[in-house]
Amino acid sequence: MKTIVFSAILSLILLSAPAVSGDAVKETSFTVSGLCNMCKNRIEKAMKIPEVKYAKWDKKSKQLKVAYLSESISLDSLQQRLAAVGHDTEKFKASDETYNGLPGCCLYRDGGSTH
């Protein structure tokens, strides 16, 4: 009898857990400056955090498609993370020091190269 009651309570807890979190996944895309596959790797790596469920940057269109937990992190903070690793976004610009530290093939400002 105790086993049945314990199993029922455990099942109830496990089934209600997803409803408790309530963190909605939001999908969006925005422009992130970059040129090459090194940029792509850096951009996508910056998005590898628990709050981001999916991030894919397209080198040709410069668009980052991202799915993130909107109640845990803001779109602004995601864009700030990208600026912190050297990539300008629609709202935030990387510091000159960080940008100038990128490899030569990644320098996208003032025309840059077209890999």
Instruction: Quote the pLDDT of residue 111.
Output: 73
pLDDT band (50, 70, 90) for residue 43: very high
- Domain spans, the chain: 22-111
> Whole-angstrom distance between the N-terminal and C-terminal Cα of the chain?
68
CATH 3.30.230.10 holds for 22-111: no
Better pLDDT: 102 or 21: 102
pLDDT value of position 20:
39
Over residues 16-30, the pLDDT tens digits come to 444 435 679 999 999
What is the pLDDT at residue 74?
95
Q: Is 82 left (phi over 0), alpha (psi -120 to 50) or beta?
A: alpha
What digits encode the pLDDT tens for the residues 65-92?
A: 999 999 999 999 999 999 999 999 999 9
